[in-house]
Amino acid sequence: MTVKGSRGLGILYGVLVLPAMFLAVSSVFVFDAPGSERSVLTALFAISLAVLPFAFLLSAIGGIVCSFGPRSTGKLYAGRVFAWLPIVDVGVFLLVFVLLQTLCGGRFDCRV
């Protein structure tokens, strides 16, 4: 990814902040089942949803800032780090979702 590619991803991630905010607001509903507050997987699931808009926002701002000015190796590295932030968060969310489905049968009150 070039430094100019950071600007495009920054704009895309900036647009995705709004849907991510709706997911973050609904993350508290995973604790509706009795006993779900003691499950580590449920807590990771809720945290990954709650952090998602901040990851998109930080990535959008960082990617756009890295795309301006002269190119350097440091900016290219920083642009890649900012581009991977939301991808890592969504990966954690999907991993925890799969673990909840396989180990707990889709229930949020499972203790693993």
Helix residue ranges per DSSP H, the chain: 3-15, 17-25, 40-67, 73-103
Percent of the chain with pLDDT over 70: 93
Residue 26 three-state SS:
helix
Is residue 110 a part of any domain in this protein?
no
- 61-102 pLDDT, tens per residue? 888 888 777 777 777 788 888 888 889 999 999 999 999 999
Is residue 72 a part of any domain in this protein?
yes
User: What is the value of pTM for the model shown?
Assistant: 0.79
Is residue 108 a part of any domain in this protein?
no
- pLDDT higher than 50, residue 3: no
The count of structural domains within the chain is 1
Place of tokens 């779900």: 36
Domain containing 69: what range?
3-103
34 vs 46: CA distance, rounded Å:
15
32 vs 107: CA distance, rounded Å:
11
> Which pLDDT score is estimated for 5?
58
